Amino acid sequence: MKYSLKKGTTITRMLCTGILFFLKLAVAGSLCAQVVTVPLQTAANALVLQTNEFKNLSIIYFGKKLHDVQEYGLAPQVYRQTSDYSGMLNSAYTSAGSRNLMEPAITVTHADGNNSLDLQYINHTIKQENENVTLYTFTLRDPVYDFSVDLFYKVYYRQDVIEQWSVIRHQEKGNVLLHKYASANLYLKSDAFWLRQYHGDWAREMKPEEARVTHGIKTLDSKLGTRANLFQPSVFMISMHQPATENEGTVLFGALEYSGNFRTDIELDYQNNLRIVSGINNYASTYTLKKGEEFVTPGFLYTLSHQGKGYASRQLQDWARQYKILDGNGDRLTLLNNWEATYFDFNEEKLKALLKDTRKLGVDLFLLDDGWFGQKYPRNSDHTALGDWQENKTKLPNGISALVKEAAGNQVKFGIWIEPEMVSPKSELYEKHPTWVVKQPARPEYYFRNQLVLDLSNSEVQDFVVGAVDQLFTSNPSLAYIKWDCNSVIYNAHSLTLKNQSHFYIEYVRGLYNVLKRIRSKYPTVPMMLCSGGGGRVDYAALQYFTEFWPSDNTDPLERIFMQWEYSYFFPAIATGSHVTDWGKQPIKFKVDVAMMGKLGFDIVVSHLAEKELQFCQQAIRDYEQWKKVIWQGDQYRLANPAEGDVASVAYISRDKSAGIVFSYLVSNRYAAGSALPIRLNGLKSDSRYRLREINLYPGTSSPIDSTKTYSGDFLMTVGFNPEVNAGRSSVVLTVEEVK
């Protein structure tokens, strides 16, 4: 007998009789010896949860969706691995202290001092939020202690994405200590696994490393508090069977949606299966949970692809635009930033000239960076004034409002930089509120970029930060953009007001989200850039409040080709700030071409551009206007990997496959380096015909690409095209348009 089940169906089987029947109710009650099987299905995959003889919830299958849902239950039978001595190796949320022998998802000390936990399935609910999104909630409870965990799985069907988190609570007679409290626990089966992880530092963000996973635990984590991704972002990939390529292989992308300390344990167990436990880092963070209080963990996000990394990234980018990034399907402003053009050395007159340049260049907005504030201690270097968010009257005698007006006069918008979480030791704020900073009272202060972090676990400090941002908007209602920076990690993690210091790291992040929520409730749409001394903070919890992020202060376009290649697996172009600056020795065309692969901006002295350079930039900005929707909202295909050859090539194809834009670059300066072989396109319609046209041509040059010829999608995807990249044509931008 064949059963075809719709999304959200539960299979319940009585262990004693073996009779299968389906429970179509939203809530499945607990029956003593019943096995409950719940397949969480997406367009391509199924994550199948099942209760076992101990009533623990386990993962019995995570992989390609089967035609017959009934067969998921057969999956465990075909493995002949060694014994599971605990009966919980594949736990959906591994509790410590009872039968568990592996890395737990949750570890507690109960009110009576006992350290054991056994989470048993009670029931589950299935709530279809809309045609694409279903929320599954599983309630687990300890049979001995009045302690429970709800596991949430938010399933995005079309995107093959699942967001998973847990809510922990109890009704014990006193407080319970949470020593570990993961968001999610996954269990993968394969003959081999490869981990692709990232590391970095300032100006060296998103450096990939890939290696076969060996037995034991590999932990990806951060203990930096703020700027938490500086050395390690929380995003990673796990390839199964063999390292996934761009278009082939099974690969899981994972990321924690959290802007503070995170921890992901990747454990290859003795049976050769992979256990993934991800959540807030419990480092120095034992949490005291009061009776009746709920501890809500952040979301752990994953997508599983059977068509390589490229497909996984397109699914994730689509999900991010639809469901996470603020205004992910909306518009963005191109901009001119003054950071590298002036650093701290500017005054009203200089800025007025830059405002004129903004208009001349043809971008939408001028962004005033660091250095505009501080009265008692003017911000003329990075040693002073953070926290003193009043204009420096020497530099700006007529204040920000005069600049906002001047911008309007030039028909451009005005945006401003702020670093609201920070304070300079030399500032009026620190003098007035020495207890508002993160510091150890009995130890010397220690600085990162000469500054301290404000204690956002303190609600008074939260009010101050909200007030500082609000003040900017209330005094300049037409302020159109905020760059929110965060240049310091947390040293001497200690709050001078918090009762329980073990809660500090968590309360800091809660305070930050509280601040962002309040700002967003008053200013829901104003674009904000998430910046953190370069790319030190980017995750999908923060991106709910931000329209874009700053990947790195390293804007050398060659570096950006590599860096944005990696970032783009996890974050779409619309959110990826990409500016033309003086970094790198490449010609302006190369710089602009690279910056166009993200959210375009400039940070140059426009008046230093030669006539032709300016002309080129102006035309490129006009072309960008025309193509930005395809870059931002289209599907990204990585065609030629800069790490593997002379040429890098990346395409963005509109969702209806009628138009695309392809960026190709020379990434080697070896003799005769260039596009010797054609580059195969992707994402087109095989039987449509397309015309290739070169844009972003430098004035006075012509293109060898014949734009009168047409090619079938089949040809372009099977044989390919040659952008004719070589030392004389180090970057080439081609448009691909369907000919009807």
Task: Give the ranges where 103-260 is alpha helix by DSSP (H).
Answer: none
Among 159, 226, 427, 487, contact with ligand DGJ (rule: CB under 6 A): 487
Instruction: Indicate whether 531 belongs to the interface with ligand DGJ (CB under 6 A).
Output: yes
Least distance (Å) between residue 387 CB and ligand DGJ? 14
Query: Residue 161 forms beta bridges with which residues?
Result: 156, 303
Distance in angstroms (rounded) separating the CA atoms of residues 538 and 298: 15
Q: How far apart are CA 102 and CA 88, in angstroms?
A: 9
User: Stretches 125-133, 247-255, 274-282, 530-538: which one binds ligand DGJ (CB under 6 A)?
Assistant: 530-538
Give the nearer residue to ligand DGJ in terms of CB position, either 601 or 720.
601
Minimum CB separation of residue 168 from ligand DGJ in Å reads 36
What phi, psi does 8 have (nearest 5°)? 85, 15
Task: Supply the minimum distance, in Å, between the C-beta of residue 233 and ligand DGJ.
Answer: 16
Nearer Cβ to ligand DGJ (160/370):
370
Mapped onto helix, strand or coil, the DSSP state of residue 435 is: helix
C-alpha angle with apex 320: 277 to 58, nearest 5 degrees?
A: 30
Is residue 439 within 8 Å of residue 494, measured between CB atoms? Answer: yes
22 Cβ contact list (under 8 Å, min separation 6) = 3, 5, 9, 10, 11, 12
Residue spans of alpha helices (H) in 136-227: none
Does residue number 679 form part of the binding site for ligand DGJ (CB under 6 A)? Answer: no
CB of 228 to ligand DGJ, least distance (A): 15
CA distance 243 to 194: 6
Residue closer to ligand DGJ (CB basis): 145 or 484: 484
Q: How far is the CB of 534 from ligand DGJ (least distance, A)?
A: 5
Instruction: Name 578's bridge partners.
Output: 600
What DSSP element (H or E) covers 59? strand 57-64
In the complex, least distance from residue 737 CB atom to ligand DGJ, rounded to whole angstroms: 36
Q: Select from 160, 485, 548, 556 the one that contacts ligand DGJ (CB under 6 A).
A: 485
Rounded Cα gap, residues 133 and 61, in angstroms: 21
Nearest distance from C-beta of residue 604 to ligand DGJ, angstroms: 14
Q: Which residues contact 229 (CB under 8 A, 6 or more apart)?
A: 200, 205, 222, 532, 535, 536, 537, 538, 539
* Contact region with ligand DGJ (CB under 6 A), list: 166-174, 278-286, 493-501, 531-539: 531-539
Q: In the chain, what are the helix, strand and coil shares in percent, each to the nearest 5?
A: 20, 30, 45
Nearer to ligand DGJ, 373 or 690 (CB): 373
What's the Cα-to-Cα distance from 95 to each of 113, 151, 182, rounded to whole Å? 16, 13, 10
**Phi, psi (5° rounding) for residue 574?**
-60, -25
Binding residue for ligand DGJ (CB under 6 A) from 534, 572, 713, 723?
A: 534
Identify the three-state secondary structure at position 11: strand
Query: Which parts of 416-455 interact with ligand DGJ (CB under 6 A)?
Result: 417
> Which phi-psi region, left, alpha or beta, contains residue 492 (left: φ > 0; alpha: ψ -120 to 50)?
left
Can you read off the two tokens belonging to residue 538?
């980017």
For residue 481 the two structure tokens come to: 């953009």
* Other Cβ atoms closer than 10 A to 528: 24
The nearest distance, CB 498 to ligand DGJ, in angstroms, is 28
Provide, rounded to whole angstroms, the least separation between the CB of residue 550 and ligand DGJ.
Answer: 6
Please choose, out of 249-257, 435-443, 528-536, 680-688, the segment that lies near ligand DGJ by the rule CB under 6 A.
528-536
Nearest in space to 418 (alpha carbons), one of 371, 347, 483, 471: 483
- Tokens in use for 510? 């809660």
370 vs 455 by CB, closer to ligand DGJ: 370
**Which residues within the stretch 497-516 sit at the binding site for ligand DGJ (CB under 6 A)?**
none
Q: Minimum distance from CB of 579 to ligand DGJ (Å)?
A: 9
The one among 391, 553, 635, 694 contacting ligand DGJ by CB under 6 A: 553
Q: How far is the CB of 434 from ligand DGJ (least distance, A)?
A: 24
Of 310 and 527, CB closest to ligand DGJ:
527
332-391 residues near ligand DGJ, rule: CB under 6 A: 339, 369-370
As measured in angstroms, the least distance from the Cβ of 582 to ligand DGJ is: 13
Q: Rule CB under 6 A: which of 272-311 touch ligand DGJ?
A: none
The residue whose Cβ lies closest to ligand DGJ is 370
Q: Which stretch binds ligand DGJ (CB under 6 A): 322-330, 527-535, 566-574, 651-659?
A: 527-535
Shortest distance, position 531 Cβ to ligand DGJ, whole Å: 5
Instruction: Using the minimum distance from each CB to ligand DGJ, give the nearer residue, 22 or 344.
Output: 344
Q: Which of 430, 550, 562, 632 binds ligand DGJ (CB under 6 A)?
A: 550
Residue 302 beta carbon to ligand DGJ: minimum distance, rounded to whole angstroms: 29
User: Which lies closer to ligand DGJ via its Cβ, residue 572 or residue 577?
Assistant: 577
- The angle at the Cα of 553, spanning 549 to 555, to the nearest 5 degrees, equals 100
Q: Is there binding between residue 548 and ligand DGJ (CB under 6 A)?
A: no
Stretch that binds ligand DGJ, among 214-222, 234-242, 254-262, 526-534 (CB under 6 A): 526-534
Q: How many CB atoms lie under 10 A from the CB of residue 453?
A: 25
Q: Which is nearer to ligand DGJ, 315 or 451 (CB)?
A: 451
Q: Which C-beta is closer to ligand DGJ: that of 485 or that of 539?
A: 485
Residue 602 is a binding residue for ligand DGJ (CB under 6 A): no
Cα dihedral across residues 735, 736, 739, 740: positive or negative = negative
Q: How far apart are CA 654 and CA 300, in angstroms?
A: 29
533 binds ligand DGJ per the rule CB under 6 A: yes
Place of tokens 């518009």: 331
- Determine contact, residues 690/710, Cβ cutoff 8 Å: yes
Q: Report how far residue 378's alpha carbon sits from residue 362's, in angstroms, rounded to the nearest whole number.
A: 32
Number of residues that bind ligand DGJ (CB under 6 A): 11
DSSP annotation of 244 = -
User: In the complex, what is the shortest distance from the CB of residue 441 to ligand DGJ, in angstroms, rounded to a whole number?
Assistant: 28
> Shortest distance, CB of residue 151 to ligand DGJ, whole angstroms?
38
Residues 619 and 605: their CA atoms lie apart, in Å, by: 18
Q: Which is nearer to ligand DGJ, 530 or 725 (by Cβ)?
A: 530
CB nearer ligand DGJ, residue 358 or residue 581: 581
Give whichever of 154 and 379 is closer to ligand DGJ, judged by the CB atom: 379
Query: Buried b / exposed e across 238-252, counting CB within 10 Å, b at 16+?
Result: bbbeebbebebbbbb
Contacts with ligand DGJ, residue ranges (CB under 6 A)? 339, 369-370, 417, 485, 487, 531, 533-534, 550, 553
